Amino acid sequence: MAEKGTVCVTGAGGYIASWLVKVLLSENYIVHGTVRDPGAAKYSHLTNLEKASKNLKLFKADLLDYDSLLAAIKGCDGVFHVASPVPGGPVQNPEVELIEPAVKGTLNVLKACSELNVKRVVLVSSVAAVAMNPSWPKGQVMDESSWSDKQFCRNTKNFYSLSKTEAESEAWEFAKKSGIDLVTVCPSLCWGPLLQSTTNSSSLSLINILKEGVKEMANNMGWYVDVRDVADALLLAYERHEAEGRYMCSAHAFYKQDLVQIVRNIYPHYNYPKSFTAGDGIDFRPTTEKLEKLGLSYRPLEETIADSVESYKQSGILE
């Protein structure tokens, strides 16, 4: 099978990016992956992937170091910009910890792509850049035309949503001015098996439902998607010539109480929340018709949950 070309994946060691690297290698791409320290043991899950010894090269890079990005992207036909800061706990200084690195890092990647004449850039945004929109008509299905309200995000201290909204909107401004071929994919909360050794924040949201034993949980609406489907969506966004604009990537929408019952039906013996309080009342449901027209099909939620839990057991996170 002939090589398909060379692409760069930023933040290659992360949850979504690791699955994307796996898919790209399986499809015979040569992959440049940016990481903090290429020699670190934490990236062995990448170097141990099939075809990695021949077709994967890890580069030491920082989103705020333009020259390091330039070196990683040089020689690439396409770039998947996946890296973005995710809060691991309370955010003390959102401008410094989240917003500035998300925006400046994205613009550095796009500037490097423009300088090196990269054919297409696929940016991983988030439904966080879509759904925080209090003016969206109640009962209307939410699509790619919706943008999170930046002031609403600030007022509600939802700084992660603000960082993703700022980064994606700045990316589109840059694309308009530079003519770069940009496609963005906006995944919802990702579950699915772990490739990396560390537990990421989205997986923790499922682990906490299983083992934290919280007495009460707010019955809010959540959107969910399998990380493997996100990786497939990113490849479609890159390979399909007709791909353009934004793509929402979310397979399932459930209130927490209904979601917990689905998980409990599969794994009845874990320490689930005891009761549910009234949620925030937000009932926006996403449409992914645009992405499905591009050729994506989603896994059932039950499959995602089962594969996630078995992965956590193998990793020793769950018993």
What is the Cα–Cα distance from 225 to 231, expressed in whole angstroms? 11
Measured at the alpha carbon of residue 188, what is the angle toward residues 187 and 193, in degrees to the nearest 5?
A: 85
Helix, strand or coil, per DSSP, at residue 253:
strand
What is the Cα–Cα distance from 272 to 113, expressed in whole angstroms? 47
Q: Are 87 and 102 in contact (CB under 8 A)?
A: no
Question: Which residues partner with 255 through β-bridges?
Answer: 221
What is the Cα–Cα distance from 246 to 264, expressed in whole angstroms? 34
What is the Cα–Cα distance from 65 to 123, expressed in whole angstroms? 18
Instruction: Say which of 164, 215, 256, 293 is annotated catalytic.
Output: 164
290 is catalytic: no
Phi and psi angles of residue 105, each rounded to the nearest 5 degrees, phi first = -60, -40
Active-site residue numbers? 164
